[in-house]
Structure 1
C-alpha cells in the first residue's frame, strides 16, 4: 500500500524534451469507478498492473498496485474496461532530485501534455523546472474522465485553453 501524493501541472513549453529519459506508451482502462475511488488496468509494453485508488485526502490518496500478466491486461482492456481508454507516452524528466513524469496524450486526447511530480509529503518544498506552468492538481477539468467527456461533447481534439474555458 502506498499513500500517493502527486501534483499535476500544465506544460508551458517543450523545454522538457531536452532532459527527457525514455518514452513509453501506456494504455489505461477503467475497470470501474466507485464514488471517489477507481480501479484501473494499465498496460506498459510487456508489463501490466491493476491499480485501486482510494478517495483523495488533500493532494494524496491510497493506492494499491498489483502486477498482472500482460495478456490479462490486454484482454481486460478489450472486454472489461468501461468507456474510452487513454493512451499516452510517458517521459521521465529529472529535476532537482525529483522525477517529473510528462504525459503526452495520444488518441482521443491527442494534443494534451501534462506533467506530474510525486512528493513524500504535501508540504514538501520543490523547485519547478522552467517548462512547468500552472498547477491543476485539484482542478476537476483535468481528470481523465472529465477530459474524455469534454472531448466527446465538443467533437474535436481538445486544447488546454479549451479545457480551461470549460466549466469546472
Structure 2
C-alpha cells in the first residue's frame, strides 16, 4: 500500500512536446464508485491492477499489483466499463520532479493534463510555463470519470 499525493493541471501550448517520448497506455475500470476505483492497465508488455481509495484533498491510498498481460487484455475486452481510456504518457523530469503528461485519445481526444506526485501535500513546486489551470479538485478530470462522461461530450 502506498499513499499517492498528486496535483493535476491542464496543459497549455506545445512547450512540453519534445521533452520526452510517448508511451501508449490502455486502461479500463472494473469499478468507478466514489469510495474506490479498480483499474486494469496495459503498457507495452506489462499490466497492473490498481485499487484507489476516495480522495482526501490531493491524497489517497493506492494498491497496485502486476498481473499477466493476457489477463489484463481479457478484462479490457470483456469486463471493464466502456469506453476504455487510451492515452499517450510522457514522463518529463524538471526541478527534481517527474511530470506525467497524458495526451488522451479516442472518446477523450483533445484533453491533455499533467500530473505531478509530491512527497507531502504542502510541497512547493515550480510550475513549468506549459502548465495551465489546476484541476486537482475537479472530478471531471479523474480518469475514472472520463469513462462515464468523456471529454468529447463536454
Superimposed CA distance per residue, residues 104-133 of structure 1 (whole angstroms, 9 cap, x where no aligned partner): 001111111100000010001110101011
Provide the secondary structure at the position in 1 that maps to 2:32: strand
Provide the secondary structure at the position in 2 that maps to 1:16: coil
For 2:89 and 2:50, the matched residues in 1 are separated by 17
Root-mean-square deviation (CA, aligned residues, Å) is: 1.6
Give the alignment's TM-score, normalised by structure 1: 0.86
Give the alignment's TM-score, normalised by structure 2: 0.93
Shift of 1:36: 1.9
What does residue 49 of structure 2 align with?
A: 50
Q: Map 1:84-163 onto structure 2 (within 5 A).
A: 84-151=83-150, 157=152, 163=154
Q: Who wins on radius of gyration, i.e. which is larger?
A: 1
- Greater strand share, structure number: 1
What does residue 62 of structure 2 align with?
A: 63
Structure 2: tracts of 5 or more residues without a match: none
Q: Map 1:19-34 onto structure 2 (within 5 A).
A: 19-20=19-20, 22-34=21-33
Superimposed CA distance per residue, residues 50-82 of structure 1 (whole angstroms, 9 cap, x where no aligned partner): 000011112110000000010110001011112
For 1:146 and 1:34, the matched residues in 2 are separated by 9
Is residue 17 of structure 2 the alignment partner of residue 12 of structure 1?
no
Structure 1: tracts of 5 or more residues without a match: 164-168
Number of residue pairs the alignment of both structures matches: 154
Provide the secondary structure at the position in 1 that maps to 2:91: strand
For 1:76 and 1:13, the matched residues in 2 are separated by 35
Shift of 1:84: 1.4
- Greater helix share, structure number: 1
Give the conservation status (yes or no) of the 8 Å contact 2:84–2:147.
no
The runs of 4+ residues in structure 1 deviating greater than 4 Å are none
What does residue 37 of structure 2 align with?
A: 38
